[in-house]
Structure 1
Amino acid sequence: MKKIGVFGTGTVGKTIASKLIALGYEVKMGARSADNEKAAAWVKSSGDKASQGTFTDAAAFGDIVFNCTKGDISQDVIKLAAGNLEGKILIDISNPLDFSNGMPPTLIPALCNSNSLGEALQELLPGTHVVKTLNIVTSDVMVDAARCGGEATMLMAGNNAAAKKEVEAILRQFGWSDIIDLGNIRHARSTEMMLPVWLSVYLLNNNAFFGFKIVRP
């Protein structure tokens, strides 16, 4: 079973990392400092398959790496770890959200419409297979698709077909059975721009446990 690195110590990072541990993977959680307190607490509660280190350490450890950092810092994080991501799969689940004016956040202008965070990370990592997925639901639904109350659709985008097959296998372990491969990483624009819709529904119902369903013949 492949080793996995997880960038980020927040709710999303911990949720993803904990699910991967439950599935039997060895997981290293990465942060700016090797002794990050949130990462240490997660390791303590997660057993002997869990470890922690810097972003660079997590990138070196993982055969596959999840980017669970906030979208406004993801590019800086990737620059720190880029040397250890060559030839690997980076599953990018972050969104380019700007919270500077409070809730609801807006999309960062330079990373929407004619660009996306997924594309920006792929440009920084020409030798890495960036796959955009899971960014259209809340973290608990990411790792347990049934939590949305029905059979929702998960979308993904990336340039490398073999990498997407590996990512699809993990998505299925997370309970996703209806998966659509949109094509190359440019389609990260579409999924990232679904976030305003997600936020509108969330704020209306004060409930994050939902997903999107693509109905087709």
Structure 2
Amino acid sequence: MKVGIIGSGEVGQRLGDGFIELGHEVKIGTRDPQKLEAWVEKHSNNRKASSGSFAEAAEFGEDIIAIATLWTGTQSAIEMAGGPASFAGKVVIDVTNPLDYSSTPPRLAVGHTDSAGETVQRLLPDAKVVKAFNTVGNPLMLHPDFPGGRPTMFVCGNDDGAKKTVCDIAFSLGWETVDVGGIEGARLLEPLAMLWIVHYFRTNNGNHAFKLLRK
């Protein structure tokens, strides 16, 4: 598959590593091309990594586009990527969390009756938005190794086929998956991310993930 990633921070680069590991081609979109020189060079042996503008990454992502931006820059990044037409018909993985960094730890800027996931779906009405990979820190996104087995990646979205695609990717990267329903489920997953973040700030350690236990 060809995957475009909107956002060149640690999360976007880590997801790019995972997609390349699974054999996919990845282009990360960025405002600063020099920021990704080391990441592209790291994958130079297989020639599956490249960087470009947000618009170039969105065009490249024929199969999947992941949005991994800071929340404050998400809408502008989507606009710079070409707007809704550039995402139409594609699986869009929304990795964002709507964080307000005016305090420490940060707080949710959107919640209860709305969510970042629903906002992204409204901005991209013809895309198949799936909320995923937002409830864990980027070091554990690929092959998390815990004594209790695979942790749980919760996903939500309105398109069942898109969710299956994302669940298959997550499983290949070491997760079990739980589908919590339509994109309004992001109202639950984003506060769950806040629980992960608060525990990180209290312990100064990001070596934790969630698991749904069944009897």
C-alpha displacement at 1:205, in angstroms?
2.0
Structure 2 residue ranges without an equivalent (≥5): none
Q: Structure 2 CA distance, aligned partners of 1:216 and 1:145?
A: 20
C-alpha displacement at 1:163, in angstroms?
0.6
The residue number in structure 1 matching 2:34 is 37
C-alpha displacement at 1:148, in angstroms?
8.3
- How many residues of Structure 1 are paired with residues of Structure 2 in the alignment? 210
Q: How does 1:56-135 map to 2 (within 5 A)?
A: 56-62=55-61, 63-81=63-81, 82=83, 83-101=85-103, 103-108=104-109, 111-135=110-134
The residue number in structure 2 matching 1:151 is 150
Offset from partner CA, 1:29-65 (integer Å, 9 cap, x none): 10135xx111222112212111111111111111101
The residue number in structure 2 matching 1:7 is 6
* 8 Å CA contact retained: 1:75, 1:120: no
In structure 2, what residue type is equivalent to 1:24?
G
Q: Structure 2 CA distance, aligned partners of 1:16 and 1:196?
A: 20
* 8 Å CA contact retained: 2:150, 2:174: no
Give the alignment's TM-score, normalised by structure 1.
0.91
* 8 Å CA contact retained: 1:20, 1:27: yes
Q: Structure 2 CA distance, aligned partners of 1:127 and 1:173?
A: 27
Offset from partner CA, 1:93-150 (integer Å, 9 cap, x none): 110001133x211111xx2111000000000111000000110001121122326864
* 8 Å CA contact retained: 1:6, 1:27: yes
Q: Structure 2 CA distance, aligned partners of 1:119 and 1:15?
A: 24
Q: Structure 1 CA distance, aligned partners of 2:28 and 2:146?
A: 25
Q: Structure 2 CA distance, aligned partners of 1:200 and 1:23?
A: 32
Which sits farther off after the overlay, 206-215 or 195-204?
Answer: 195-204
* 8 Å CA contact retained: 1:152, 1:213: yes
In structure 2, what residue type is equivalent to 1:41?
A
Offset from partner CA, 1:148-182 (integer Å, 9 cap, x none): 86432110000000111111111111111x21100
In structure 1, what residue type is equivalent to 2:179?
D
Structure 1 residue ranges without an equivalent (≥5): none
Which sits farther off after the overlay, 50-59 or 148-157?
Answer: 148-157
Q: Structure 1 CA distance, aligned partners of 2:149 and 2:101?
A: 30
Which sits farther off after the overlay, 143-152 or 10-19?
Answer: 143-152
Which sits farther off after the overlay, 145-154 or 48-57?
Answer: 145-154
Q: Structure 2 CA distance, aligned partners of 1:143 and 1:70?
A: 20
User: Given the superposition, is the C-alpha separation of residues 106 and 180 from structure 1 closer, same or farther in structure 2, using an over 3 Å criterion?
Assistant: same
In structure 1, what residue type is equivalent to 2:28?
M
In structure 2, what residue type is equivalent to 1:100?
S
2:17 paired with 1:18: yes
Q: Percent identity?
A: 40
* 8 Å CA contact retained: 1:92, 1:118: yes
The residue number in structure 2 matching 1:173 is 172
- RMSD (CA atoms): 1.5
